[in-house]
Structure 1
Amino acid sequence: MTSNLEVRIADLTRNDKGDLKGQDVTVKGYLAAKPDEPLDDGYNYPFIDEDMNGILVKSKKKLDDLEPGKWFDVHGRLDEDHLQEMHVTSETDITKSDAQQESPSHSRQFSSSVKKVVDGDTIHLEKAVLGTTKVRFVSIDTPETNYQGDSQGYYAEEATRQLQNLLPEGEDVSIRVGDEAFDQYGRLLAIVLKKEHNINREMIEIGMAVPYFIYPNLDNFEEYGDAVVRAKEAGRGLWNPDRPIDELPYEFRFNKRGGPNKFVGHFETKQYVEPEKWESIPIEYRVFFLKEKDAIDAGYKKNSEAPGC
């Protein structure tokens, strides 16, 4: 093994540090979020420094003992291709720092440019934001191009094509993150702005996406709800009466998994229902909760009289 070097996360954002790729290093970082579920390549743990520079620490195994909101010394091997990705093998590679500083000041908006459109709600960036170049558009959902080997076909490809038109390669964008910057998979969640134009909302407006609000990220809730109502009334995209989509994107996924698994609240009435009763909540008012306790903590009351699917 190569020698273990101590480096700053900020150093890994510099183009002249390419010789560090594949090296064993130690960095100090603040754990911004803890993933509950893995992606195809394992679990992603986002660490940031005092100035909101980031690195994505990747592990094949779930690291249960890590506590978000604490500073850690992370020992691992930098990726061969991406300086802002590090690979660790176990929890022994990550130790809580002796000195626990204040939380980093939480910047909300970052600048980058589009490297690639992956699908209707995912892009890759040229310049990493909070340690990752992969962005999942927050609070919207588009048809799946490849979920467990299956595609939603025409609308999946059309949503991708429409986003490519809106965000061609090299397009300058602003990346705005909310209170929860990462999802349960460790992916960066963001509103993507093109000259201050909200592309997340635009995808709903043209009928290529549906609102998908997962508590606590509820920014733009009413705005996106109004947009989906307009798209439905105009029969655009997914709502075309001559070619309606068979399943909403999240419906497609949970049918593949064997059924819904998120509790669903009504944004206005502040009542929630069991996962299998999700359709009883109109699309423009749906708030999804990963756990029932989240709904209760948010002030929602259980509606036991809601009809089933």
Structure 2
Amino acid sequence: MKNRITQKLKEKKLFFCVLPFLACLMLAGCQPKETPTGVTVKVERVISGQTLEVVDTSKPSALIERVRLLGIEAPDMKQQPWGTAAREKLKQLIGGQIVLLESEGSTKDQFERTLAYVWKDGMLVNEQLVVEGYVYVPRSINNKYEQRLTNAQEFARLMGKGIWNPEKPMRLTPTEFRRQNR
């Protein structure tokens, strides 16, 4: 009897913890959507859960360019099963398709990849990967969509999606994993 009462109290506590967060998500969804501006490209290849090869078909000499999705960190490909799952999800979302790249601030990283938010049919792909639990949002990213990405990560964490699954969580962030496996 005591266990049932304790269980019910835990369920109520969880409900009242999750309810304000879900209300905030709904209110955020009511905000007017910004129309992103950028360059339209075709995705030629998905390399990882955060890196693409694209072609700007509007240019006469269509060179392949590498793009790194801003504001997220995908699990390393050696972090199984999460690295492969993130890459496959990104392929499913935008592989071989036309997308919009929206840049912010510095446009290249140390590996000369273009840094961008990726949009497909009004959907911020970076955010979609986060909300489904395929990628991680690093702390203090300080970018245009920081709040959206942070809210998406909190949702995925509370719902136990992907890397946040309590039965098989990703124990190291991608940065920590790479540091330990150099």
Q: Specify the TM-score bucket, using the shorter chain as the normaliser.
A: 0.7 to 0.9
- Cα distance between partner residues in 2 of 1:256 and 1:110: 36
Change (3 A) 1:132 1:212: farther
State TM-score, norm by structure 1: 0.43
| 1:184 aligned onto 2:110 | yes
Aligned to 2:88: 161
Aligned to 1:247: 172
Cα deviation per residue 1:212-249 (whole Å; 9 max; x = unaligned)? 3666x511111111111000000000000111112111
SS in 1 for 2:154: helix
| 1:140 aligned onto 2:72 | yes
Candidates 159, 162, 174, aligned match of 1:237: 162
Aligned to 2:147: 222
- Any stretches of 5+ residues in structure 1 without a counterpart? 1-107, 146-150, 258-309
SS in 1 for 2:172: coil
Bigger Rg, structure 1 or 2: 1
Candidates 53, 56, 69, aligned match of 1:124: 53
Deviation at 1:255, TM superposition (A): 2.4
Deviation at 1:168, TM superposition (A): 2.3
Which has a greater percent of helix? 2
C-alpha contact (below 8 Å) 2:41/2:55 kept by paired residues: yes
Q: Calculate percent identity across the aligned residue pairs.
A: 25
- Any stretches of 5+ residues in structure 2 without a counterpart? 1-36
C-alpha contact (below 8 Å) 2:42/2:57 kept by paired residues: no
RMSD, matched Cα = 2.1
Aligned to 1:198: 124
Deviation at 1:183, TM superposition (A): 1.6
SS in 2 for 1:153: coil
Q: How many residues align?
A: 143
Letter of the 1:154 partner, please give it: P
- Cα distance between partner residues in 2 of 1:192 and 1:129: 17
Letter of the 2:159 partner, please give it: A
Which has a greater percent of strand? 1
Candidates 90, 98, 101, aligned match of 1:172: 98
- Cα distance between partner residues in 1 of 2:67 and 2:113: 7
Deviation at 1:128, TM superposition (A): 7.3
C-alpha contact (below 8 Å) 1:139/1:214 kept by paired residues: no
Runs of 4 or more above 4 Å deviation: 128-132
- Cα distance between partner residues in 2 of 1:245 and 1:118: 20
Aligned to 1:92: none
